[in-house]
Amino acid sequence: MGIIKAAMTAGGSVLADQWLEYIYCDSLPNNVLLRKGQKRTKEGSSNHGSDNIITKGSKIAVNEGQFMLIVEDGKIVDFTAEPGSYTYDNSTEPTMLYGGFGKGLLESFKTFGKRFQMGGDTGHDQRVYFVNTKEITQNKFGTAQPIPLRDSEFGITVDIKCYGEYVYKIIDPIAFYGSLCGNVANEFTTSQIDSQFLSDFMAALQPALGTVAAQKISYDMLPASTPQVSAAVAEQLQNTWGTTNGINVTRVSIASVTPTADSAEMIKAAQKDRLYAMNTAMQGARANAAASEALVGAANNDSGAIHGFMGIGMMNQGGAMFGANMSAQSQNTVSAQGMVSPENPCKIPVTEGRAEGKTCPNCGAEANGKFCAECGTKMPEEVKKRFCPNCGAEATGKFCAECGTKL
């Protein structure tokens, strides 16, 4: 009875598998990376062949954004990425309806013999899979811990947190099938790799941002540097996900970058230092402009060179005074704006004094200017005194000799 049952089963399955199939796959959603193809049948149809058997000459529909794989007994035997209708004529399951009745009939009897030996079972497993080759979007990421980044604008290392989204795409469906989802029963979804992929992505993000920072892109410009960040992350993941799993990151969009509280204070201090340096440079430029005007006045003055050289003397002495007193003057200006100068962190101006009541050494006349009004003799330079803003002691160096306060 067992032999008769096996013969009847084998014969029935061979006859059922004579019909050609039409295999298709609907549009794959964003979360499905691979899905097994379906045989299209209608109610009342006689086409009810064996599962996982593709009759020779069957039609397979391939849509845009899909890569079709034919797997026989666990091995990929054919594939195509070209959209349209595909005829599978290399199947090991023959039919009398394709390739000629006589030849098909002979091959079908051979198939009957093989299935009879298997107790009526087909003895083969043939499947059609469709791989999603569209971009997989809406993959969110965020840094749980701050990432150190060397900022090119200020030359300091800041700790930042950021979040955004990344997009990836299957670029090698054969590698993807072989390494991640071989012979799945129905479909393979993003939920099955999201956790591992996100871990690898976050591990690649820090060195990728370091590569971007080396291109002189500051931390606050990262949201506007999508191409550079995307290329750097893809390069970091090339060996782990690109070559092995056939997946490539195509786009990384950073929505927000936020420095930690300590880094924000460091950035604020660097900005103040830069503003102070800019103010100092502007004052120096004004002094140079005044000196140039004095030289022009000396060349064009009809009263002679005295007034011109007076201007030059004022330029020299004024420049010296500007160099000596620039710190105190700029500190007063910056303090008025509510900023702290590195030269005077306490916002206390250095008190200065000068000698008064000068007498001309040539004619003895009293003079308060730089030249004697009677004979034109250049007056001795002013005696400048500096006093410590902390203890009031007279000081001549960069630090007070009594209390050590920086002047």
Answer whether 0.85 is exceeded by the pTM: no
User: Using alpha carbons only, how large is the chain's radius of gyration in Å?
Assistant: 43
Residue 120 falls in which region: left (phi positive, over 0), alpha (psi -120 to 50) or beta: left
Cα–Cα–Cα angle for 233, 33, 246, nearest 5°? 45
3-state secondary structure of 74: coil
How confident is the model over 356-365, as pLDDT tens digits? 457 787 887 7
Q: How many CA atoms lie within 13 A of 85 on its CB side?
A: 6
What does the pLDDT read at residue 198?
94
Report the percentage of the chain scoring pLDDT > 70.
66
3-state secondary structure of 261: helix
Is residue 306 over pLDDT 80? no
Between these two residues, 343 and 280, which has the higher pLDDT value?
A: 280
Alpha carbon distance 129, 134 (integer Å): 15
Is residue 396 over pLDDT 90? no
What does the pLDDT read at residue 357?
56
Find out whether 131 and 33 touch, Cβ atoms under 8 Å.
yes
Q: Quick one: pLDDT band at residue 43, thresholds 50, 70, 90?
A: low
How confident is the model over 191-228, as pLDDT tens digits? 999 999 999 999 999 999 999 999 999 888 999 999 99
Find out whether 153 and 221 touch, Cβ atoms under 8 Å.
no
Burial of 358 (0-12, 13-18, 19+ CB in 10 A): middle
Average pLDDT over residues 95-119: 43
Average pLDDT over residues 16-31: 77
All structural domains of the chain, each given as residue ranges with its CATH number in brackets, are 2-132 (no CATH), 136-259 (3.30.479.30), 264-345 (no CATH), 350-407 (no CATH)
Alpha carbon distance 27, 61 (integer Å): 11
What does the pLDDT read at residue 14?
41
